[in-house]
Structure 1
Amino acid sequence: MLAFEYNKFNGIIIDSSAIPTDEKLFLQQLSALLEHASLQKKSVIWLTLPIDLAHLIKIATQQGFTFHNCLPTEITLTYKSLEEDYVPFVPTHSLGAGGFVQNSLGELLVIRERDASTYKLPGGHIELGEKIEDAVYREVLEETGIATSFDSVLGMASTHPYRFGKSNIYIVCKLSPLSTQIDIQDTHEIADAKWILPQDFLADSNNSPFNKYLVKSLVNATGLGKSTLDLSQFSKLKHEVFLAND
Structure 2
Amino acid sequence: MLAFEYNKFNGIIVNSAQLPADIDVFLAELSALLDHAKLQKKAVIWLTLSIDLAHFIAIATSQGFTFHNCLPTEVTLIFKSQAQDFVPFVPTHSLGAGGLVQNSHGEILVIREHGATTYKLPGGHIELGETIEDAVIREVLEETGIQTTFSTVLGMASTHPYRFGKSNIYIVCKLVPLSTQINIQDTHEVDDAKWILPQDYLLDANNSAFNKYLIKSLLNATGLGKSTLDLSQFSTLKHEVFLADNGLK
TM-score (norm 2): 0.97
Name the stretch that deviates more: 225-234 or 41-50: 225-234
Q: Distance in 2 between matches of 1:20 and 1:110?
A: 54
Q: Can you list the C-alpha shifts for 1:98-146, whole angstroms capped at 9, x where unaligned?
A: 0000000100000000121100000000011111000000000000000
SS at match of 1:30: helix
Counterparts of residues 1-246 of structure 1 (less than 5 Å): 1-245=1-245, 246=247
Q: Distance in 2 between matches of 1:56 and 1:231?
A: 42
Query: Structure 2: which amino acid aligns with 1:27?
Result: L
Deviation at 1:21, TM superposition (A): 2.1
Q: Distance in 2 between matches of 1:136 and 1:37?
A: 45
Deviation at 1:50, TM superposition (A): 0.5
Q: Distance in 1 between matches of 2:233 and 2:16?
A: 34
The runs of 5 or more residues in structure 1 that have no matched partner are none
Name the stretch that deviates more: 91-100 or 228-237: 228-237
Q: Distance in 2 between matches of 1:217 and 1:50?
A: 47
Note the aligned Cα RMSD (angstroms).
0.7
Name the stretch that deviates more: 149-158 or 15-24: 15-24
Q: Distance in 1 between matches of 2:132 and 2:87?
A: 28
Deviation at 1:18, TM superposition (A): 1.4
Q: Distance in 1 between matches of 2:73 and 2:46?
A: 17
Aligned residues: 246
Q: Can you list the C-alpha shifts for 1:62-89, whole angstroms capped at 9, x where unaligned?
A: 1000000011100000000111110100
Query: Structure 2: which amino acid aligns with 1:109?
Result: L
Query: Structure 1: which amino acid aligns with 2:153?
Result: V
Query: Structure 1: which amino acid aligns with 2:48?
Result: T
Query: Structure 2: which amino acid aligns with 1:153?
Result: V
SS at match of 1:103: coil
Query: Structure 2: which amino acid aligns with 1:117?
Result: T
Query: Structure 1: which amino acid aligns with 2:171?
Result: I
**Superposition misfits of 4+ residues, deviation over 2 angstroms:** none
Q: Distance in 1 between matches of 2:115 and 2:53?
A: 39
Deviation at 1:6, TM superposition (A): 0.8
The runs of 5 or more residues in structure 2 that have no matched partner are none
SS at match of 1:165: coil
SS at match of 1:184: coil
SS at match of 1:163: coil
Q: Distance in 2 between matches of 1:130 and 1:198?
A: 30
SS at match of 2:119: coil
Q: Can you list the C-alpha shifts for 1:6-31, whole angstroms capped at 9, x where unaligned?
A: 11111101111111122211111111
Percent identity reads 80
Q: Distance in 2 between matches of 1:85 and 1:176?
A: 49
Q: Distance in 1 between matches of 2:83 and 2:97?
A: 38
